Amino acid sequence: MHASLPGGAFAPTDVDPRAADWSARWDRLWPDAEPSGPSLRTVHPDRWVRFHTLPGAARVAQTPADRARVARIVDELCDAARAASGDGPLLVVGEDWDAADGAGGWTRHLLPGARAWRVADGADAPAYFWVDVDVDVEPVLAAVIDDRAAVLLTDAGMRWGVAPYDGGVDVFLPDAETRAALAERFSAWRSPRPDGL
């Protein structure tokens, strides 16, 4: 594990030696996008599908049953994406920010073995991406449900991505055909909005 700057930032010297390989793979499979739900959704809309995890598109899990439902749907979608796109260890890509952001460090501290990966320029501030392998996803998902973390779950080959948020899940698949099949399979959870949000 590398030392980090305050918040969720890291210095160039902290970047894991494997970062170049991860970035080469990422950039080949997901060109022009960063490993975050909003970026992927914007750049690769034909490979994206959104599922709502709570009835009526609610954004806040109010009860233990709501939280369990969110966790179950994320598990099912990860399993379906793995089956469609490839197996391998689960990678958790955490997005974080520096100390100037009030949320800086939230995600990083949930990933005990996180390795510094890449930095992306954002509209307001840079985003820092960390990678952890085979981490216990339950506390990470609990933080996401409470809107206290931003993560992308993927396989070692980075062929698919599952980006949960506090009211649903954005799923990214290798191609439009695989995306359409998953959207049909879990159609009961699809957003009814024409834009898919």
Q: Within a domain: residue 1? A: no
Q: Within a domain: residue 2? A: no
Q: Decide if 160 is inside a domain.
A: yes
Classify residue 6: in a domain, yes or no: no
Residue 5 within any structural domain of the chain? no
Number of separate domains in the chain: 1
Mind listing the pLDDT tens digit for each residue in 120-164?
987 678 999 999 987 888 888 888 888 889 999 998 889 999 998
Residue indicated by tokens 């499979």: 29
Please report whether residue 194 resides in a domain.
no
Quick: pLDDT tens for 35-68.
Answer: 999 999 999 999 999 988 777 767 777 778 877 7
* pLDDT score of 39: 95
Distance of CA 128 to the CA centre of its chain: 13
**For strand 90-96 and strand 151-155, is the pairing parallel, antiparallel, or unpaired?**
antiparallel
Token pair recorded at residue 3: 């030392």
Kindly state whether residue 3 falls inside one of the protein's structural domains: no
Contact between 161 and 171 (Cβ < 8 Å): yes
Q: Assess if residue 158 is contained within a domain.
A: yes
Q: Which pTM does this prediction carry?
A: 0.88
- At 13, is the pLDDT very low, low, confident or very high (cuts 50, 70, 90)? confident
Q: Which residues contact 37 (CB under 8 A, 6 or more apart)?
A: 150, 152, 161, 163, 165, 170
Q: Who contacts 196 (Cβ-Cβ below 8 Å, separation ≥6)?
A: 45, 48, 49, 50, 190
142: which 2 tokens? 């609990």
Evaluated on CA atoms 54, 60, 63, 65, the torsion sign reads: positive
Is it the case that residue 5 has pLDDT exceeding 80?
no
Instruction: Take residue 126 and report the two structure tokens written for it.
Output: 């840079």
16: how many CB neighbours lie within 10 A of its CB?
A: 18
Beta carbons of 181 and 85 less than 8 angstroms apart: no
> Whole domain around residue 70: which residue ranges?
12-189
Please report the DSSP string for 163-179 in residue order.
EEETTEEEEE-SSHHHH
Give yes or no for a contact between 106 and 96, defined as CB atoms under 8 angstroms apart: yes
